[in-house]
Amino acid sequence: MTSLTRYAATIAALAKPRVLQAQSPAAQEVVHAFRLCALAARDRTDPLPALALRLCNCEAAYAVHDLVRAVAQAWPEPFVVGRACCQRLSPDEATVALLAEAGCARDRTAFDAAIGGLVRPDRHEPLWAACTHALMLMR
């Protein structure tokens, strides 16, 4: 198998970005939370008040913020987010949407598959714990 055919599906998927509206409600909320945290980081402000307002739950805001920090720590490169109003997902946001959907379904295999080859296997467990905890509190 040549490397061109091996990665053809990945390259084709990157050429057609996923759309935010096509994601589950939980995945949409997680993506919006990541975008809020990115705006707060850019402005050097605390993201928790905005997260608490968006999620209507202070405990969920803390859990989502913990998820964002866990992803930032585990991701091999800086995490890329889209603009707040953009319907197209960055590849990183698309991956986090897959993590949220797997977390909602409590499907650890799908979760690991979504980040397999991107995130080191020893970092999967903290991400799984942070993701499922945040999703549980967001409901």
SS3 label, residue 133: helix
Give per-residue pLDDT as tens, 93-109.
999 999 999 999 999 99
Give per-residue pLDDT as tens, 46-80.
999 999 999 999 999 999 999 999 999 999 999 99
Q: Are 38 and 30 in contact (CB under 8 A)?
A: no
Q: Domain coordinates of the chain in residue numbers? A: 19-138
Task: Give the per-residue pLDDT at 112.
Answer: 96
Higher model confidence: residue 2 or residue 9?
A: 9
Global pTM reads: 0.87
DSSP letters along 48-112, please? HHHHHHHHT-HHHHHHHHHHHHHHHHH-SS------TT--BPPHHHHHHHHHHHHHHTT-HHHHH
Task: Give the per-residue pLDDT at 17.
Answer: 77
pLDDT at 114 over 90: yes
Q: Are 65 and 28 in contact (CB under 8 A)?
A: no
pLDDT at 1 over 70: no
Task: Give the per-residue pLDDT at 8.
Answer: 78
Task: Give the per-residue pLDDT at 18.
Answer: 85
Average pLDDT, the chain: 92
Structure tokens, 6: 């091996």
Please give the single-letter amino acid code of residue 131: C
Task: Give the per-residue pLDDT at 42.
Answer: 95
Cα atoms in the 13 Å half-sphere on the side-chain side of 41? 14
Q: How far from the centroid of its chain's Cα atoms is residue 87's Cα?
A: 15
